[in-house]
Amino acid sequence: MIPFSPTDDGADLVETAFLCQALICLREYFKNGNSTEIALSQQADQLWQGVEWDWFTQGGQNTLYWHWSPKYGWSTNMTISGSNEALISYILAASSPTHNISASVYNQGWARNGAISSKTTYYGLPVILNYAGSAGTVGPMFFSHYSYLGLDPRGLTDKYENYTAATQNHAKIMYNYCVANPHNWTGYGQNCWGLTASFSLNATNMQTTYAVQQPTHDIGVISPTAALSSFPYTPNESMAFLRFLYEEEKSNYVGVAGPFDAFSPHYNWVTPSYLAIDQGTISPMIENYRSGLLWKLFMNAQDIRKGLVGLGFHSAEYNF
């Protein structure tokens, strides 16, 4: 195993939550199948139920912690605080049949007793969510992707937010920002937009690096996953970008596994490579736009519904 950082060599609750989101969809999809499929569904359920979410409250604190290491314990000491990509961690922790958390952990740890709500607007659109550590800004697009691979934001509300508006506005603000193009980067426009975490470019030495890109940190690099994974929120704008890639720039920006991870027309740069966590949201989100398959599987799971209701969520789409 290669540690992500010197003290991050053990459990990562957020990445575990992304996995469990998939396990629940798998469980629901195969649970009424043949004997082999039912066995697979049961194995997925066992893995999901085995996660000790309550352990990550560090003995009963009203927040979840991101990392734990068998060598370094809680030394990273990083709380999972909203809003960012990690909402699903609290949803699953509240939904667990075996190791669940109380609503107070969500309200204090994630929602920060209401500080998660934002009054900021960009391009006439409310941001809705205050991003932890960067209030009043627009975060990278992956904040509106990872938790919503299974969690359906359509008609979803709690006492803090309307998640339909939060996710759609995030994508529309990102689109409008790239069209406005305040830094005058070559190539930005109606057909070429989207900033998120991805491979990137160090313009000083023209070397490939990794960076989190957003309106407050715009270095002229477009990440295809930002627009393509936003299909449920901005279908017309996302389709325009998809057509741009395949009809105008396929020879430059598309490879054997689809669009490359990042490119910069301004610097005439492209990374002819892929990053799994970026590729991984594109197909599921396009499918959710097309059929809602993963959303329906996840949101109709009884343990998930119970967890959401316990946290004070309501869904007009699923009538709870």
pLDDT confidence tier of residue 7, bands split at 50, 70 and 90:
confident
The token pair that represents 31 in the structure block: 């649970």
- How many Å is the maximal CA-CA distance in the chain? 59
**Percent of the chain with pLDDT strictly greater than 70:** 100
Measured CA to CA in angstroms, residue 66 lies from 52, 61, 69, 79, 144 at distances of 13, 13, 10, 6, 19
Q: Residue 131's pLDDT is what?
A: 87
Distance CA 59, CA 266 (A): 51
Distance CA 72, CA 265 (A): 44
- Give the mean pLDDT of 114-133: 93
DSSP calls for 193-251:
----EEEEEETTTTEEEEEE-BTTB--S-B-HHHHHTTTTT-HHHHHHHHHIIIIISHH
Dihedral through CA 293, CA 298, CA 300, CA 301, nearest 10?
Answer: 140
**Percent of the chain with pLDDT strictly greater than 90:** 95
For residues 260 and 254, is the Cβ–Cβ distance under 8 A?
A: yes
Residue 272 has pLDDT above 90, yes or no: yes
With a CB cutoff of 8 Å and minimum separation 6, the contacts of 149 are 18, 21, 22, 281, 284, 285, 288, 294
For residues 110 and 116, is the Cβ–Cβ distance under 8 A?
A: yes
Residue 258 has pLDDT above 70, yes or no: yes
Q: Residue 1's pLDDT is what?
A: 62
The token pair that represents 28 in the structure block: 């629901």
Q: Residue 3's pLDDT is what?
A: 77
**The pTM is what?**
0.96
pLDDT confidence tier of residue 234, bands split at 50, 70 and 90:
very high
How high is the mean pLDDT of the chain? Answer: 96
Q: Residue 8's pLDDT is what?
A: 86
The token pair that represents 309 in the structure block: 């209701």
Summarised one tens digit per residue, pLDDT across range 78-115 is: 999 999 999 999 999 999 999 999 999 999 999 999 99
CATH of 118-150+159-291, one of 1.10.630.10, 3.40.50.620, 1.25.40.20, 1.50.10.140: 1.50.10.140
Give the chain's radius of gyration (CA, Å): 20
Q: Residue 158's pLDDT is what?
A: 98
Summarised one tens digit per residue, pLDDT across range 43-91 is: 999 999 999 999 999 999 999 999 999 999 999 999 999 999 999 999 9
- Give the mean pLDDT of 204-210: 94
Q: Where are the domains of the chain?
A: 1-116, 118-150+159-291
Q: Beta partners for 315?
A: 156
- Give the mean pLDDT of 118-145: 92
In the structure, how many helices (H) and strands (E) does the chain have?
11, 12
Distance CA 286, CA 150 (A): 12
**Alpha helix stretches (DSSP H) within the chain:** 13-30, 35-49, 87-95, 103-105, 163-180, 224-228, 235-243, 250-253, 276-290, 293-299, 302-310
